[in-house]
Amino acid sequence: MANCQLIKNQVDLLVEERDAVEEGLETTTNPTERANLIFELKSLNHQIATKLSQYNACLHPPPPKPDLVAKTFQIKPNHSARTLEVACVIQNDGDGPARGPFEVVLGVSYTDQAGTKITRQLNIHVPNGVTIEGHGTQYVTEPIQNIPLLYRDDNPAFVYLLEMIVDSMNQMAETSESNNYLGTTYWTVHPPST
């Protein structure tokens, strides 16, 4: 608020200066002097408008923005069912809360038993009622389920590529858009026999 008062004092000084110029305009008949005063008056009006805009922004600052980060993946292998479940972990590193709705794209690519490259994609809608508070709060999306669990010790090609894009439709005003994508690889091996 102290900074706001400083801007207000600057506005008041400019208004006083403008009043003096207007008085000068009323009293002078010299065409050159009038032209100079009119030029000065336009300049002062511009400065006052700029300062008033700064003062208003100081009194009513915009709310803090969120910063959604594609943080990591939550991976749950189920060895008995031979399936894999993958979800996105989103973190809000901003000062402001992130409120739905917004979209997240989750993709899992892998090579299956027949050597075919498979990609599964899930478009996740984070609904209206969801709020991810700032300062490192995390949110876990719904997962892609029933991905075949393939072991790399059976075949070195059995590696998963996991990718996510947070706020894929750019619905959220964020402090940074550069951290909305994450891609990583994952693999697992046969668990030790009991």
Residue 191's pLDDT band (cuts 50, 70, 90): very high
Residues 123-170 pLDDT 10s: 999 999 999 999 999 999 999 999 999 999 999 999 999 999 999 999
Are residues 109 and 173 in contact, defined by beta-carbon separation less than 8 angstroms? no
What per-residue confidence (pLDDT) applies to 74?
98
Residues 100-115 pLDDT 10s: 999 999 999 999 999 9
Task: Indicate the DSSP class of residue 115.
Answer: S
Residues 36-93 pLDDT 10s: 999 999 999 999 999 999 999 899 888 899 999 999 999 999 999 999 999 999 999 9
Indicate the domain borders of the chain: 2-59, 68-186
Give me the half-sphere count of Cα atoms (radius 13 Å) on the Cβ side of residue 193.
0
Task: Return d(Cα 5, Cα 55) in angstroms, integer.
Answer: 8
Mean pLDDT, range 162-191, rounded to an integer: 96
Residue 3's pLDDT band (cuts 50, 70, 90): confident
Angle at 175 between CA 174 and CA 181, to 5 degrees: 65
Task: Return d(Cα 166, Cα 179) in angstroms, integer.
Answer: 9
Closest to 76 measured CA to CA, from 168, 164, 160: 160
126 SS3 class:
strand
For tokens 């998963």, the residue is: 160
According to CATH, the superfamily of the domain at 68-186 is: Immunoglobulins (2.60.40.10)
159's tokens: 């590696």
The pTM assigned to this predicted structure is 0.74
What per-residue confidence (pLDDT) applies to 172?
93
Measured CA distances, 176 to 44, 66, 189 (Å): 37, 9, 37
What per-residue confidence (pLDDT) applies to 105?
98
The one-letter code for the residue type at 89 is V
What per-residue confidence (pLDDT) applies to 57?
87
Are residues 74 and 104 in contact, defined by beta-carbon separation less than 8 angstroms? no
134's tokens: 């700032």
